[in-house]
Chains A and B, each alone.
Chain A
Amino acid sequence: MNNNLEHSEEFIRSKVGLKNGLSTPENYFEGFEDSFFATLSSEIIPNEHKLEVPSNYFETLEDRILAKVSKEKKETKVISLRERMLQIIPTAAAASVLLFIGLTYFSNSTVTFDDITTTDIDSWYDNNPDNINSSDLAMVFEASDFDDNILLENSIEEESLEEYLNAVDPSTLLNEIK
């Protein structure tokens, strides 16, 4: 069997030789290490990130943002002047009174205005509504504390002003003018 095999091998060798005719481009092996490490780097650190965006995402982005912005503009909440004043006045008054009391009676203590929380003020005001009168407020505030420009600087919507004037008792306004 071995002789038979050797005979066949010999036949192939005599016809074909030991060459298979395959060749490589010139200098192929010389730069192989460098080209391999370049491939390896790109395999480990891909050049492009794999995150994708839906198709036409950027084409329609402007329209979607503008639509959202104009919708938000329309939905802006209008707070009436009266509501705002009613919210601010009690808190400011209570804070002022507390500050006055603190400065008058506890001037030696280390309590500062910052130590008083809004909750404390609200709580004090709720429990002592009769203790506050216009004289108290007048004692606390100087005329210079009130600047007419505040109203000019804070734009008040005409609609809100109208609403406030409609709601307020005319006799109160007359008393104010006197």
Chain B
Amino acid sequence: MTEEITLVKELQNTQSKERAFRVLISQYKERLYWHIRKIVISHDDADDVLQNTFIKIFRNIDKFKADSKLYSWMYRIATNEAITFINKRAKENNVDIEEWQQENASSIVNDTNFSGEEIQVILQKAIATLPQKQQLVFNMKYFDDLKYTEISEILETSVGGLKASYHHAVKKIEEYIKSIVD
């Protein structure tokens, strides 16, 4: 925590901003990348969104208040950027966001940056059937193993609401997989 406070101070100081930002990127790039990638699916899109996320962080770091944790503030920016991105893509293709995500999940097998097996494609398709919030909660809980309190800070939702979302998400995914595999 002390380290984070020092880093924030350095980030908000013009003299040390760039050096400190390099430290920030190296600490968070992978975590934020995977968080974004699970939302947008394609690597190229994830790369664009990650760059935009860090640019937004760089420009707004002076406005960051210590009343929330730095990582949850950054996760929130990354989440918003990724969702805005897929909404934009869906609009460009004249489809709604659910349809766009279904298409995205189906085309994952053709992605050179996908090394999974058929069951992983099924999982991606199952996740794409969920409402946006359930998708986010499932990915953050199941794959990233974040605590409910952390997810609550990032998504600004109550812990109770998150537990319910996760429960629904797991049940729907289980059913989807069973309907294909069994």
Binding site for B on A (CB under 8 A): 1, 5, 8-9, 11-12, 15-16, 18-25, 28-29, 32-33, 35-37, 39-40, 43
Bound CA span A20–B50, Å: 19
Across chains A and B, the number of contacting residue pairs, with CB separation under 8 Å, is 89
Q: Do B116 and A21 touch across chains, with their CB atoms under 8 A apart?
A: yes
Bound CA span A154–B22, Å: 75
Chain A residues lying within 8 Å of B50, measured Cβ to Cβ, are 32
Which B residues, 38 to 77, have Cβ-Cβ distances below 8 Å to chain A? Answer: 38, 41, 43, 47, 50-51, 54-55, 58
B119 in contact (CB, < 8 A): yes
B91 in contact (CB, < 8 A): no
A12-B174, A20-B123 provided; 10 other pairs, C-beta below 8 A?
A: A8-B173, A11-B174, A20-B120, A20-B143, A21-B115, A21-B117, A22-B41, A28-B43, A32-B25, A32-B29
Q: Do A20 and B124 touch across chains, with their CB atoms under 8 A apart?
A: yes
- Partner pick for B177 among A12, A18, A32, A37, CB 8 A cutoff: A12
Given A16-B177, A36-B54, A39-B55, A22-B29 contact (CB < 8 Å) = no
Nearest-neighbor residue (CB-CB) of B172 within chain A: A8
Interface residues on chain B, size class: 35 or more
B99 in contact (CB, < 8 A): no
Q: Do B143 and A18 touch across chains, with their CB atoms under 8 A apart?
A: yes
Binding site for A on B (CB under 8 A): 18, 22, 25-26, 29-30, 33-34, 37-38, 41, 43, 47, 50-51, 54-55, 58, 108, 113-117, 119-124, 142-143, 166-167, 170-171, 173-174, 177-178, 181
Bound CA span A1–B170, Å: 12
Q: Do B115 and A23 touch across chains, with their CB atoms under 8 A apart?
A: yes
Bound CA span A8–B166, Å: 11
Bound CA span A21–B167, Å: 23
Chain B residues lying within 8 Å of A16, measured Cβ to Cβ, are 119-120, 122-123, 177
Bound CA span A137–B29, Å: 94
Question: Can you list 23 A-B pairs with a CB-CB distance of less than 8 A?
Answer: A1-B167, A5-B166, A8-B173, A9-B142, A12-B170, A15-B119, A15-B181, A19-B116, A20-B38, A21-B124, A23-B113, A23-B114, A25-B43, A25-B113, A29-B33, A32-B25, A32-B29, A33-B25, A33-B29, A36-B55, A37-B22, A40-B55, A43-B55
Main secondary structure of the interface of B (DSSP, over half): helix
Q: Do B120 and A36 touch across chains, with their CB atoms under 8 A apart?
A: no
CB distance from B66 to the nearest CB of A (A): 24
Chain B residues lying within 8 Å of A22, measured Cβ to Cβ, are 34, 37-38, 41, 43, 113-116
Bound CA span A68–B116, Å: 71
Bound CA span A15–B120, Å: 9
Q: Do A24 and B33 touch across chains, with their CB atoms under 8 A apart?
A: yes
Q: Do A24 and B142 touch across chains, with their CB atoms under 8 A apart?
A: no
Q: Do A33 and B26 touch across chains, with their CB atoms under 8 A apart?
A: yes
Chain B residues lying within 8 Å of A21, measured Cβ to Cβ, are 108, 114-117, 120-121, 124
Bound CA span A20–B122, Å: 10
Bound CA span A39–B48, Å: 10
Chain A residues lying within 8 Å of B121, measured Cβ to Cβ, are 21
Chain B residues lying within 8 Å of A28, measured Cβ to Cβ, are 43, 47
Chain B residues lying within 8 Å of A40, measured Cβ to Cβ, are 54-55, 58
Chain B residues lying within 8 Å of A15, measured Cβ to Cβ, are 119, 177, 181
Q: Do B25 and A36 touch across chains, with their CB atoms under 8 A apart?
A: yes
